[in-house]
Structure 1
Amino acid sequence: MLTSETLSEHPEDPHGFKRRGMMFVLSSPSGAGKSTIAGKLLHANPELQVSVSYTTRPIRPGEVDGVHYHFTDLETFRQMVANHEFLEWAHVFDHRYGTPKAQVWNALEQGHDILFDIDWQGAQQLHQLAGGDVVRVFILPPSMPILRDRLIGRRTDSMDVIDARMARAANEVSHWDGYDYVLVNDDVEECFECVKTILAAERLKRSRQTGIIGFIRKLLR
């Protein structure tokens, strides 16, 4: 029987087939609109979980430990790396960020999708480790001058930091071909609709529909 609970658990599948969850990766240079699109995606898909990374960077005003990040010290982080507790980790702007392994595997087995906000290095590490469980989406700015204007307009960074972000952006864009989908964010609403469509289509992929086998067997009896 189809229920509202079934629909909430399987929003793109009216039959409510059991399926394996996925790691849905959004990457982009800083200022390209990734955070805005991720927020809109979470609002439209409240069942979508967010990967909460560990980081060695200081906590910022308004952030909550365990919600935005798990904040830790460098020595603890290094020990977690040595214990193979991360799915992926990276060194970014003098700080380290890592995705905890155990909670991700558990969520996937239960059919939950997890949203990742990570860079190309993290996306590559996830793909090498988990392959078909990973969907990688890269968001490009319309142009580099526009990206720089966006960073300046945020009024959160010094010009030295903005210059460093622009240099890093060029490096990140050069890895565009390591993604499954590449979008240009020249209109945030259109870009969001594309991302939402990708999520819906990937949820219906045959390889994730682990519960459809029983349905097929019944059809052929």
Structure 2
Amino acid sequence: MEDEGVAPALARVLADVAAEREAQDRMWGVQEFPDGSGPEFVERAEEAKRECSTAWERGRLTWRHVLTEEFFEALAEAEPDRLRAELVQTAAVAVKWIESLDRRHGGMVHRTKSGGGFTEKLVRDRIPQVIEESGRRAEFRVAGLDEYRSRLRAKLYEEAGEYVASGDPEELADVLEVVHALAAVHRLTPDGLEARRADKAQRRGGFSERIVLRLPEGP
């Protein structure tokens, strides 16, 4: 993974991070949760900033102080662009901390989790029956409403990704099934969803004319 211009030490850490992310996806698949961040963490972010500043002034600054400040600054953001920027800064500090560990303690081997336990995913309603009809045992549980919403959002990414990867129009049926399930969560019937789609198409058009808008560069 060592790109041109990336220092070997940094490239090694980024490779470990990438390997860990791949292991997480193998274990849990695509995950989608609410951000849970917002103005309620502003006071904690200010406190972390003061602690960091005080530790610096007293010559007692640690990586814990720096990462904690960045972490709570991220939690204090609700606007997506600013939240993303703060999370990138938080991740960069974590990477820099790992580089510091490697300098002080030599190259340590990162071992990703290999599994164990159960991997869970949201499936169509008849899948347990299909599994049992094939002679296997189906272990499953019923998600609560909040978890169901979250898993549906993750399922939408999964199904859309499968279509993007394969180009198979059959995958679009799976995307549509998830869209209908999400609409039902919002108390929208398929007809109600179609009415909203048609209304927006009437006002703003669809995509059939293949129009690509050219925008000026810049902020």
TM-score normalized with structure 1 length: 0.23
State which structure, 1 or 2, has the greater radius of gyration over its C-alpha atoms: 2
Q: Which has the higher helix share?
A: 2
Q: Which has the higher strand share?
A: 1
TM-score normalized with structure 2 length: 0.24
Higher relative contact order (CA 8 A, sep 6+): 1
